[in-house]
Amino acid sequence: PYFSRARGLSSGLQSAEGRAWSTAHRIQYANWSGRFQDALILNEELRKLNLEIRSPYFDIFQHFTQGLILCALGRTEEAEQSLRNGLKRVEQGDDTFWRPRFLNSLGWVYAEEGDYEKALRLNMESLKGALDSGDPETIHNARINLGENHLALGNLTEARDILEKTWEEVKTPGVFYSKWRYKTRLFLALAELYTGMGERKKGFAFLRKALDLAERNGARRHQARALLLKGRFLRKTRPAEGRKCLERALRLSEEMGTIRLSHRIRKEITRLDSQGAGA
């Protein structure tokens, strides 16, 4: 509501800069809450505003958020192009802050496409730059990405090492930018790790934390991911409950238009149904 009020107030300004700032914040809100189509529309609005302002910051920001939104929607080729275009602009400006963030996001694009080795290389490069910058958000996101890459590759020892170290740092008290977001992602990764290592009780404890944070903050994509994991974990022991979780996850994913996530959820439902047919 406050972002909307700010947008209304900025509409009466002669300068486009006030409108651009409120639009940028609304893009972030729409992206975080899984309203990706709204975020795309707002991102285009920001691009047009910046034709007047000609701000290097908004130019880079618009390419960065465009890449994130398109990747979430499963449009990975377009996402990669937007991020690479932004990376070229970063080289002419604030390289220390933006470069690791773009590399992180490109790593996510390749992970979505199943190229985990390439994602791993990009996220390692991102982490190096993030450590040089000292920015906690970028550092933790890079480490979580690396942990997720190792999980996908079956490298459980490497995943445990980096994710547990990250958790030791993240649980330290203090206010950090977007901590709830990377904390939710970390809980999801730890849930998958411990369940994969046979520590189901520990895995479910982190899954409950992830689902609670996602629901409390209205982060629908994280919520869908948590429900997908829960459905997968319950597939053999409590298939009826697992199916309900998967169906909820699918509804959320379809509402958001997240194509690749929906595909993964449908595959899990098919596996569950096949298991029932086999029995």
165-209, pLDDT tens digit by residue? 999 999 988 767 789 999 999 999 999 999 999 999 999 999 999
Q: How many CA atoms lie within 13 Å of 160's alpha carbon, on the beta-carbon side? A: 12
Q: What is the pLDDT of residues 114-142, one digit of tens each?
A: 999 999 999 999 999 999 988 899 999 99
In this structure, what token pair is assigned to residue 254?
Answer: 């379809």
| Long-range pairs, 166-170, Cβ under 8 A, ≥24 | 166/140, 169/140, 170/140
Dist CA 276 CA 106 (whole Å): 39
pLDDT value at position 277?
61
pLDDT band, residue 278 (cuts 50/70/90):
low
> Residue 93 above 80 pLDDT?
no
DSSP state string for 235-258: TTT-HHHHHHHHHHHHHHHHHHT-
- Higher per-residue confidence, 95 vs 244: 244
**Position 1 pLDDT exceeds 90:** no
Q: Give the span between the Cα atoms of 278 and 235, in whole angstroms.
A: 13
Note the pLDDT of residue 175.
Answer: 66
* Average pLDDT of the chain to the nearest whole number: 93
Task: Return the number of other C-beta atoms located less than 10 Å from residue 142's C-beta.
Answer: 29
Residue 133's pLDDT is: 87
In angstroms, rounded to a whole number, what is the distance separating the alpha carbons of residues 33 and 197? 31
What single-letter amino acid sits at 13?
L
**pTM of the predicted structure, to 2 decimals:** 0.91
What is the sign, positive or negative, of the torsion defined by CA atoms of 210, 31, 137, 178?
negative
Amino acid letter for position 272: L
Residues 172, 12: Cα–Cα separation, whole Å = 43
